[in-house]
Amino acid sequence: MNSLIIVESPTKVKTIGKYLGPEYDVRASVGHVKDLPKNTLGIDPGKEFEPTYQIIDSKKKVIADLKKAAARAQQIFLAPDPDREGEAIAWHIAEEIRDKKKPIRRVLFNDLTRATILEALAHPRELDFDLYEAQQTRRILDRLVGYLISPILWDKVKRGLSAGRVQSVAVRIICDREAEIRAFVPEEYWNVTALLEGSNPPPFEAKLAKIDGKKAKIGDAERSAEVVASVKEAAFTVAAVEKKEVRRQPPPPFTTSKLQQEASRWLRFSAKKTMSTAQKLYEGIGLGPEGQVGLITYMRTDSVRIAGEALEEAREYIRGHYGTTYLPSKARVFKVAGAAQDAHEAIRPTAVARAPQEIRAFLTPDQFRLYQLIWNRFLASQMNPALLDQTTLDIAAANFLFRAQGSVMKFPGFTALYTEGKEDNGDENGFGKLLPEVREGEVLKLLELKPEQKFTQPPPRFSEASLVRELEENGIGRPSTYAAILSTIQEREYVRLEKGKFIPTDLGILVTDLLVKNFPRILDVAFTASLETELDRIEEGKTKRLDTLNNFYRPFTEELKKAKANMTNIKREETPTDLLCEKCGKPMVIKWGRNGRFLACSNYPDCKNTKNFTRDENGDIRPQEEQPPTDIPCPLCGKPMLARQGRFGKFLGCSGYPECKHTINLAPDGTPVVAAPAEAKEGDAVCEKCGRPLVVKRGRYGTFLGCSGYPECKHIVKTRTAGRPAAPGADQETTDTLCDKCGKPMAVKRGRYGKFLGCTGYPACRNIMKYKK
């Protein structure tokens, strides 16, 4: 029987195709094939929020090809990813290729192994309407929020801004943490540490824990000195020795969010990089003679469930490579959280026998590191716990009690393969220092007493790992959406990532403040989490899409009306400052422009003085003084060039602006990319059309030489080095192949899709040919 299988990714076509015979035609939709229109809302609230889906322009040929393939097939299997988005893709494809005479069934591939693929094809199911409805509801909610709130921000702040049902809440979480940090007032405290020596080595440190039986609190240097003076005169005696065995249990195999967190901590991967790399491992990697192989199970899951056969395979590997001391008496089964969707297994290798080192040669460095992380975590989850001997010493010194804690690894257990990463370079293994053998009543020798000043610290800024954890714990979004959320809020310039920590920009703080004041319900963390719960209930068939949308939309329309009327118009807002304009003496005010906040004279338009500014640690304004003129003359008018800052970084601008608008780009090291001189001399780059000097300019694809006579002359030349045009044919490798149109040699050239052969007679002859080595 001739069957058509439709998957999302072309890579999957290769992986699946090698397991099936010629009676199966495997094709890819390359993602979504239909979406809401770009330029209209595409949703009719008056007709039960009916969405208007359109075939994506770039997918029209894909749909046409799928229709032809479907016409030849006797049965059709839809096999996009096994989640809500995949179900929506399957529904949209079915709508376009449906034939009442032919069955269309849904198959789910949790991994791309022969056994899983054959099992799924043997047990197909019908399309899941509830799952599709849950995806549609999410898409409609996101569309309503983004499409209807964003224009208000354009009107009140600036064009191009966006709001999002989930992204705006994520930005709020970052902004709220920044507000906590800025409001934090550090408090001084002191630690007192004693370096002690007993009858057995080594010397060890003990920290002051209690004074007169209460927790030690030392608030200043004076009190610290008093404590040190009193302690020095006291005898140090071991008051108690507590020893106990501690068992550290292994963590469960990866869910999506935990994979993103650990890849961030251990590998310094962004959530986006983690998911794109995991996608490749799932879809299949070429392993030499073995061909295309899917290396991990589906990577979008919040379940820790593991298939029975995978557990047995892991146990056999542990028994054979680590011995029975590392193997528990029975397979470890982890409890699935109540809110988790248990449709898929946890993320694990499809075959434990494919150890990372054995297939390293076939993987990129990033693929190897992520696969190794997944492989190690899965195998470690089925190992025995680590055993530690933990010791706590209480040492009395008059009315003071000092405490020392240490732990020694007794049996490594699962830690032989894996330990969880920690934030901020914490103790990665959680093991303490080594303590000597002492007995109760033993008198210890004081070697040194060290008082140390400390200050309480504000809550830390979020890293990618800790923000993912925060979103998950608060029920914001789903694990499959975290990577997109983190990428979007950075692309919108609402936050920036500095030294691995999220910091809100002025724009992010401004927009968040406006949204919180005008859309408090939409920006409420608990409300956003409740919508995620509603989506889960729709997926489970416990509630209807229309009920959820109506409950959301009725109050939303009132919020929109109030926001349009009452939201502060930042474009017109001026914040007074104590600074005076050095040109006219009038007060300076803070305004908002397309590149952010800036200082402007309140006497505008009579005085057009403006300045950039920064804020110090206390929030006070610090104007950025304009740099003095450089000694570089403008190539066009001869006036000195000035160092300026634009949206794309620093550059040199003519001091004759606005009469002369010439600019010079700066190289990454800050040196000017000097243009050709105003008057062409021998050896200078000149325009071959009009004879004027060529100047270095920057476009979307890098630097180039443009005629200084622009816009009258629009001639441009490719450039290889600053101010020097590329030699004719410098970017070409001439071949022996002749052009079949003009007879000139063909040259190897490179375009956006790779190498091709182009006629050396270009632009007179534009003939191109396919390149073959």
**Residues designated catalytic:** 298
Identify residue 405 by its one-letter amino acid code: Q
* Alpha carbon 193 to chain centroid, angstroms: 41
**Structure-block tokens of residue 528:** 């956003």
d(CA 209, CA 193): 10
Could you tell me if 80 and 90 are in contact, meaning their C-beta atoms sit under 8 angstroms apart? yes
Tokens 């770009």 belong to residue:
38
Report the distance separating Cα 66 and Cα 92, nearest Å: 12
The position carrying tokens 């190539």 is 635
CB-based contacts of 728: which residues, under 8 Å, 6+ apart?
none
Dist CA 635 CA 681 (whole Å): 13
The torsion angles phi and psi of 418, rounded to 5 degrees, stand at: -155, 135
Q: Where are the alpha helices (DSSP H) in 157-290?
A: 167-183, 221-232, 256-262, 271-283
- Beta-bridge mates of residue 406: 391, 433
How many Å apart are CA 625 and CA 657, to the nearest integer? Answer: 18
Q: Is 96 helix (H, G, I), strand (E, B) or coil?
A: helix
Here the tokens at position 393 are 């010493």
Q: Which residue has the tokens 């801004």?
A: 161
* Coil, strand or helix at 653: strand
Cα–Cα distance for residue pair 619/418, rounded to 1 Å: 44
CB neighbours (10 Å) of residue 6? 28
Q: Quote helix, strand, coil % in the chain, to nearest 5.
A: 35, 25, 40
Whether a cis peptide bond, with omega within 30° of 0, leads into 668 is: no
579 contacts 588 by C-beta, under 8 angstroms: yes
First vs last C-alpha separation in the chain: 40
List, in sequence order, every beta strand (DSSP E) within 456-574: 495-498, 501-504
Helical (H) or strand (E) element with 334? none
Q: How far apart are CA 472 and CA 170, in angstroms?
A: 11
Query: In a 3-state reduction of DSSP, which class is residue 232?
Result: helix
Distance (Å, whole) CA 515 – CA 521? 10
**What is the spatial distance between Cα 421 and Cα 429, in angstroms, rounded to a whole number?**
8
